[in-house]
Amino acid sequence: MLVDTHCHLDFEVFNDDREETLARALDAGVTRILNPAIDLETSRSVVQLAHTYDPVYACVGVHPNEGTKWTPETRSQLKALGQDAKVVAIGEIGIDYYWDRTPAEVQQRIFREQLDLAAELDLPVVIHTRDASSEDRRASMDVLNIVEEWLEELKSNGSPLAERPGVLHSFSAGLSEAEKALELNFMIGITGPVTFKNAPKLQDLVTRLPEERLLVETDAPFLTPHPYRGKRNEPARVRLVAEKIAELKQKPLEIIADITTMNAKRLFNW
């Protein structure tokens, strides 16, 4: 069994073959798919999609690049959606200094607001982080610092969420950031780039991380793994991510598939 813990199945690029895409995923052994939102409109659509297809679950939230859409009413509307039975996380939320579409102070403010909402609903978070460059780690550091403050609040309030706070989606930072995330009880999401020939740093990182803290993701329709790079990604190809992790860990695919599937089950309580 496999799960794809990050796939934008609601995007228009899947409109013509969404059911066929799901069928291919099931044929590949993918039993659950987590569909994060990027704004309030997609938060509504991912919940609807999750109720349409049994294997699909939803996250609701506002992506940092969509932060200018945030209004005083957004939080209450996300709260209402977050109480749906098929919503298992708040996301994707976080900080993105690469595109810089939303002022940094706004990104940080709505990130904190959504972390507080997650605590209120007792839901883990799916965090998007993108640094301005490989040398500029400000986004990663800001995310980790804000999350650390949030974790301290969770612990002081006796929240069980402190033990399963969330996942750093499509992780691309370095070992020191990964170790800090592990200290904070976060999972690390691994996507298609781990299969790329020009990704030795990411591959080395994966060999150093405990598989009990890894999740496999596609981020479809993006980040298509080798040998399909350049084509539309889809949930069935999460198997290629798991295969690469198994190769790097020198373990059978079945072991990595089982462990990452159980990791997702613990985190998302599905």
Task: Give the tens place of pLDDT for each residue, 102-131.
Answer: 999 999 999 999 999 999 999 999 999 999
Q: How confident is the model at residue 135 (pLDDT cuts 50, 70, 90)?
A: confident
C-alpha to C-alpha distance for 20 and 113, rounded to whole angstroms? 37
In terms of DSSP H, where are the helices of 122-186?
138-156, 175-183
Residue environment code for 79-93, b if the CB has 16+ CB neighbours within 10 A, otherwise e: eebbeeebbbbbbbb
Q: Is 196 buried (19+), middle (13-18) or exposed (0-12) by CB count in 10 A?
A: middle
Q: What is the pLDDT averaged over residues 20-29?
A: 98
CA–CA distance, 90 with 132 (Å, rounded to integer): 24
Q: How many CB atoms lie within 10 A of CB 113?
A: 16
Q: What is the pTM of this model?
A: 0.97
pLDDT bracket for residue 133 (50, 70, 90): confident
Strands 87-96 and 30-35: unpaired
